[in-house]
Each structure stands twice: as C-alpha cells, then as structure tokens.
Structure 1
Amino acid sequence: MKQDWRGILIRRLLLLIGACLLLGLITGEYAWALVAGLSAYLYWNLRQLLRLHHWLQRSGPDELPPESSGVWGEVFDAIYHLQKRNQRARGRLQAVIDRVQESTAALKDAVIMLDRQGNLEWWNRAAGTLLGLKRKQDGGQPITNLVRHPRFKEYFEQENYREPLELPSPVNDHVRLQFQLTLYGNGEHLMLVRDVTRVHQLEQMRKDFVANVSHELRTPLTVITGYLETLLDNVDEVNPRWRRALQQMQQQGSRMQNLLNDLLLLARLEAADYPADNKPVAVDLLLLSIRNDAQALSGTRNHRISLDADATVKLKGSETELRSAFSNLVFNAVKYSPDGGEIRIRWWADAAGAHLSVQDSGIGIEARHLPRLTERFYRVDASRSINTGGTGLGLAIVKHVLIHHRGQLQIDSVIGKGSTFSCHFPPAQVVRR
C-alpha cells in the first residue's frame, strides 16, 4: 500500500474516533458511541472484502471490478490490471506452447516427454504412428509397459544414453526404430524415436552381401590352396624358379582364408542380438588355454605372458564368442609387442561387475586412432598389419562380442610404453562359484 493512502487511512480513523467521542459527549455514552462507530467502520470494510471475494470467484475474464471509493477502489483497480497482465502473459505463453506443439506435430520423428519415473506426460502425433500410443488410454502410463522389449527396459533403467538403441517397432515388426533418451530438468526424460527402416535395410543388404561373397569365395579359395599345398609337398619336382612364387601364393591364400573366416564370424555376430547359448563360462580356464596358445604363437620371440585370473568369477554367455574376442586381444598383444616384451592378462570382479585387461609393452597407439580402432579394416599402420598377418577385423569382432554380452571395451595407450585393452561386464552377467 502506498504511503499517502496510509496517512489518509490514519486520518480517517482518527476523524471517526473524534466523531464517536463527540457523539458520546452529547449522549453521555462514550463507550457505546465508540463501539457503534468502530462497528460501522468494520462492517463497511468487511462488506468491501466480501464484494472483492465475490468478484474474484464469479467474475468473467473481462468483467470490470465493482465500484468503490478510497483504498478499496485502488485495490479493485490494481487487482483488475494485474489480472489483465496475467491474461496477456498466459496468452503469449499459450501461443508459444501452441507453436511448439504444432511444430513437433509436423515432425516425422516421435517426441515423447516422460516424468522422472518414466510415465508418459505428452507426445506428438508421430509417436502414435510409430509406437501406437493412444491419447485417452496411455497418458500417465509407464513407457516400459508400452515398449516391452527387454533391451529397451535395460536401456531405460541404466540411465546411460550416450548411444541410441535400435529395436523393432511395437506396432509393426517390419519397421525399425531408433530410440534416443535425454535427461532434462529435474530428472525428466525426453525421448526421440526415429524410423530408420531404410538405413537398417541398407545395412542389412551390406551385411548379406559381405556374408554371401565371403561364403562363395571359400570354395574356390579352398581349391586353390589345396593345389598349392600339393605342389609344395612335391617341391623337388617343381622348377626352382616357381618355388618362391608358390610359397608366396600359399601365404597370401592362407591370409585370405583368415580374412574370410573373420568376415563370416562378424556376419554371424551382427545377425544376432544375444549369444545363442547363455551359460556360465569358466573364464579362468578359457584364459589359461588362450595364454598357452599365445605362448606358442610367440615362439622364439620369447614374450613373458603372465595370467592372473579369479577362478571364482564366471561370465554368462557364449564360450565360443568369448574365446574369439579374448584371443584377439591377447594375440594382438603378442603380434605388436617387441621380442622379449611383457604381456599381462588379468581377470577379476568387483562391485561394478567383471573385468578383463590385456596389457602389453608395445610401441603404443596415438590418441587420434583410438576412437576408430573397432572399425572394420581400420589400421593404424597398414604395413605393420601386413607384416603381422592381421585382417583389420579383430577389434570389430571384439566390439560385437562385447555388445552381445552387454560389455564395453576401453582402450588406453601411451606412445612408447604400450597399450591396455579392458573389457567391462555388468554385474548381471557375472556368476560367482
């Protein structure tokens, strides 16, 4: 309230008290005169308060305030102007909301707002098309009740949304969707869903092409290498000029066979989301076998290969796939470590899950190469891969095996000191003896 109205009220109250005292002097009843005067004043204020309450409760958006004088007239006018400002602000805000909803409704991608518990709050028209959401029935429902794929539930609960998730649509199995979650505000979720069926089909065509070509090449390559082996078994009867050529042809044929085997293995891994068998694997015995093979691969290079494996920790999954992934890491350490180098293999478990680390004393890898090491045919040094007989698919196979087993690959390397390849598996995959 402004200062001038406070003074006016005080003066009016003093004037009222003075009039009541004058009336008491005339009638000789000072107390009754004061009570009557103050009661009349209180009645008038209560009446104005009731008029204000009635106006606020029942008035329309454009209805003028009731007529009054003095400070109550100022109160009525101030509240009326405040209402008008709020109406204009709500109108501007509603216009912004309407434009946002219109723009998101025009998107072909689904936009879904979820609360902290994952319950549906709002979604656009595309969400109804892609996910089958119904406006009247699904509001407030948990999103995991409507998208019931087990991989989506794991993805939602892990709260690690750096990578998107691809799944079939719950409405149409022939439609492939990409889910991307983002946290905002006070733990709320914004989910974007995109139709990637076309991209998925192109990727599937590429995979099928690679798998089919690899399969078709195996038969002629087997015939060629077979005849080469026959010729080399009878090398004494072969013209000496052709001996070196035959040996190089056999070497390259063997390299092509390894490449085809890796391509076919990678195609099988990409074709399935989870391993065919999901049984507890004794990783310590598996690593012991791989260590012995690595020592044989080292041969005269005399690498020192140590193994520290917790025999009480098993891993749920496919032993064949895990052998392929772990042996790739260990054999790479042997190939790229200098003669007499040290290789350390460690398998252990803690509260975060199970872990495998393969540490070598090689030349190391530059940091710019690390993000691309798991790409197919990516080589840090092409000439070095040719010398070691690598196909460029080993780490791609490791990546897909870890995806099957819900694991992650971590690569740490220092130039001149070596590299450490670590596989991390969640507690759900761990079985203790």
Structure 2
Amino acid sequence: MTVVAVVGVVAGLAAGLLVARYVAGRQTAGGSGRAGSRWRRGRLVIAEEQQAGLGRRAIDSLRAGVVVLDAQDEPVLVNPAARAMGLLRTGARPGSVAAHPLVRTLAGQVRRTGVRREIELDLPRGRDNAAENPLGVHLRAMGLGGGHVAVEATDVTESHRLARVRRDFVANVSHELKTPIGALQLLAEALLDATEPAGEGQPDLSEDLVAARRFAERIQHESTRLGRLVQELLELTRLQGAEPQPAPEPVAMDWVISEVVDRTRTSATARRVDVVVDGERGLTAYGSDTQLATAVANLVENAINYSGEDTTVRITATGGDDHVEVAVTDQGIGIAPTDVERIFERFYRADQARSRSTGGTGLGLAIVKHIASNHGGRVDVSSTLGGGSTFTLRLPARPPDDLLATLVSGGIESGPAELRQA
C-alpha cells in the first residue's frame, strides 16, 4: 500500500470526522434540553475516538513503513514497520527520537520543491555483517500540507539480492570471455597476414587461400564486435553498482563535447555524416567526466549509425540555474512510437536488420540511461518515424546533496540509488 493510499485513508477518516461534527452540531442546534445536547456530544466524542483508532490501526497494520514528519522534521507518526526498518534514531534530547537522516533529507527536498521524491538504495542494518546483509529500501516522500511530509518505506532487500547475483554473474562471465576473445582476434590477424595478397610478379592466391582470407576477415570482424559487447557489459555492470561511483566533480561540458567529436570523427567520416556543435559555451555539470563523455559519445554514435549519408548530427548544449542539457539531433530513420518506451532497455533494437549492419550491441542507450540516473539526471527522446530523433541528456549543474551522494554511492540494479522526480 503506497503513501498515497495511506494518506487517502487518513483523509477519508478526517472527512468522516468533519461530517460527524456537522451532523451533531445540527442535531444539537435543533434539539431540546441539556441532557440531549450532552448525549449527542458524548456520542460525537466516541465516534471521533473510534475513527481515529481505526485510522491508526490501519496504518500500523501496513507492511510498508510510514513516517510522518512535521515542519521541524519531528516524527509525529511512525508505524511499527518503519521502526523495524531502522528509520528512527535516538534524538538529541534524552528519551527523544529522530527520523533517519535520509528521511529528513527527502522531506526537506519535498518542502523545497513541492514535488514527490523517490529513492532506492541499500542501508546498513547496524550489525557486524551489515556490509554483507544490507537492507534494501524504496523510499517515497510526498507533502501533506502545512510543512508535514509523509515518507513510505518498502522493503526491497530480496530484489536487490537477486540483482547483485545477476550482476556478479554477468561480470564474472564477461571477465572470463575477455581472454579467449583476445586470442581469437590475434589468430585472425595472424591468418590475415599469412593470406596477404601477393605483390607484383608473384602468383595470385589460390581459391582456397582467398576463401580462407575471407573467413579470417569475418572472424576478425565478429571477434571485435564480441569484444565490444563484453566491454560494454562490464561497463554497464559497473554503472549498476558493482563498483562505488566516483565522487562528483565539476565537469566542463566544452571538454566533454570536444572529446566526443574526436571519438566519433572516424565513424562519422566513414558514413559521410557531418557532426555540428552549437549552443552555449562554458557550461559546467557535476559528475564524472569520463562517464559523461561516454554517455554523450554513445548518443552521437547512435545518431551516426542510424543516419543516412550526407546528413547532419547536431550537438546542442544549453544551461539553466540547476541543470545542463545536451541534445543530440539526427536526420535519421526515426523511432516508432511503440519503440520509444523500450529503446533504453538492454539489447532492445527497434530495427533488427539495421542494428546488425551497424554492428551495434544494444547496450549503448542502456549505458546512457544508467549514467544519467547515477548523476541525478535523466535522458529523454523525441522522435518522428522517418523524420529523425533528438536525445536530450539532462545533468545537474550544482553539487548534489552530500548526504545523498554518500548514501547513493552504494548503488542498486536500477542505477545506484536512483533519485527521480515523480
């Protein structure tokens, strides 16, 4: 049961109390005698107590933890599930309690922005094996008015454990594959050298050697593609929390875009695609420079691969008070509306035949999504089938909250402690 549903229950009970008061007041005004008035007031008090007790029992029976903070971040309602999850701490005064620092931080963000906030991460349980057995929680915070904020906590420990098992399996298999893939590439190069076409005055290659060379070229191509797939799987595994995320630092977006243009120059030239840079200069985002360069490069490579010859890919940077946006626009084949919602999934391809011809792995956009999420940003897409696409990477232009940055560094499957605006 979500916080919205809990608040709905409480609001319904409050509305019932108001109706009861109104009815009792009307009856009292039309009644006769003090005895009747006292009798009605007594029944009203009993009804209020019963409904208040019912609302409290309903909240206490939830498996999800519920914490309601007032404008001073003092907990005014905490159910047993929230206590069991460790969302309370010892207060500054003897005998007092306080909400977990993360709960207070989320509540403060809700008050400042006026929008609902969500975060998912692993919390230590406060025992000797806390690092080996963390508590996975999904927190959802929303304002109730008057400075009050309700925070719902859902236990997602098991899903996090399964995600870690899957992530470790992919990482281990990918590491094991790197050695045989490297050997295949070396053998293919050796075979190509051995079947090098003869020079002038030398006899031509036999049909068998020509076929062997063709097969060697194909082996080299596929082994290179497989090596790129393994490398991107490892990169995606790291982004999903296999390794702690680097501390966010100011990143010059001019350097990021220049690095991306340099990385993609060869592929753009080969496909006769012109990469154009415009927009604002001197913008600064916060995060990891290498990851941001990888994200923008993946968007540009994707735009180049799905564009026709003699077209333009445009990189546009814009900035605001709180964010920086980098938009990559192409004149390519576009994306069907049914595929737009799925293109950031791993291995999903909107055009299977085109993806095979370009040698894509199906992981580039998934990597972009996780990099954006890890930086507290997002990536959006707008596209018209046959009319090109625009991918927009939105990044923070200010340092993130220190507390959230510390807690977020642990990470989960959906992106290390993905913090998003609902």
Partner of residue 249 from structure 1, selected from 192, 196, 219: 219
Partner of residue 91 from structure 1, selected from 46, 52, 57: 46
- What is the aligned partner in structure 1 of residue 4 from structure 2? none
Q: Which amino acid aligns with 1:374?
A: F
Q: Which amino acid aligns with 1:244?
A: R
- Residues 117 and 142, structure 1, Cα contact 8 Å, conserved in 2: no
Output the CA distance in 2 between the equivalents of 1:75 and 1:104.
37
- What is the aligned partner in structure 1 of residue 101 from structure 2? 147
Q: Which amino acid aligns with 1:97?
A: A
- Residues 103 and 151, structure 2, Cα contact 8 Å, conserved in 1: no
Work out the number of aligned pairs and report it.
Answer: 355
- What is the aligned partner in structure 2 of residue 425 from structure 1? 395
Output the CA distance in 2 between the equivalents of 1:149 and 1:115.
12
Partner of residue 62 from structure 2, selected from 107, 115, 121: 107
TM-score, length of structure 2 as denominator length: 0.75
Alignment of 1:1-80 (within 5 A): 77-80=32-35
Output the CA distance in 1 between the equivalents of 2:241 and 2:98.
30
Identical positions, percent: 30
Distance 1:182 1:133, change over 3 A: same
Distance 1:148 1:334, change over 3 A: same
Q: Which amino acid aligns with 1:375?
A: E
Q: Structure 1, residues 77-136: CA drift from partner, whole Å, max 9, x if none?
A: 544323322322332332233233223323332122233554321111111111253799
Output the CA distance in 1 between the equivalents of 2:70 and 2:95.
11
Output the CA distance in 2 between the equivalents of 1:132 and 1:327.
41
Partner of residue 398 from structure 1, selected from 354, 368, 371: 368
Q: Structure 2: which 5+ runs fail to align?
A: 1-28, 197-204, 401-422
Q: Please, what is the CA RMSD of the aligned residues?
A: 3.1
- SS across alignment from 1:189: strand
Output the CA distance in 2 between the equivalents of 1:364 and 1:184.
43
Output the CA distance in 2 between the equivalents of 1:196 and 1:130.
11
Partner of residue 123 from structure 1, selected from 78, 93, 106: 78
- SS across alignment from 2:49: helix
Distance 1:227 1:429, change over 3 A: same
Between the two structures, name the one with larger relative contact order (CA 8 Å, sep ≥ 6): 2
- What is the aligned partner in structure 1 of residue 136 from structure 2? 176
By how many angstroms is 1:176 displaced? 1.7
Q: Which amino acid aligns with 1:147?
A: P
- What is the aligned partner in structure 2 of residue 58 from structure 1? none
Output the CA distance in 2 between the equivalents of 1:100 and 1:169.
31
Q: Structure 1: which 5+ runs fail to align?
A: 1-73
Partner of residue 315 from structure 2, selected from 345, 351, 359: 345
Task: Tell me which protein shows more helix as a share of its residues.
Answer: 1
- Residues 365 and 414, structure 1, Cα contact 8 Å, conserved in 2: yes
- SS across alignment from 2:341: helix
- SS across alignment from 1:373: coil
TM-score, length of structure 1 as denominator length: 0.73
Partner of residue 213 from structure 1, selected from 173, 197, 205: 173
- What is the aligned partner in structure 1 of residue 340 from structure 2? 370
Output the CA distance in 2 between the equivalents of 1:166 and 1:369.
29
Output the CA distance in 1 between the equivalents of 2:379 and 2:277.
19
Q: Which amino acid aligns with 1:341?
A: T
Distance 1:114 1:371, change over 3 A: farther
By how many angstroms is 1:318 displaced? 1.6
- SS across alignment from 2:398: helix
Distance 1:426 1:85, change over 3 A: farther
Output the CA distance in 2 between the equivalents of 1:139 and 1:183.
28
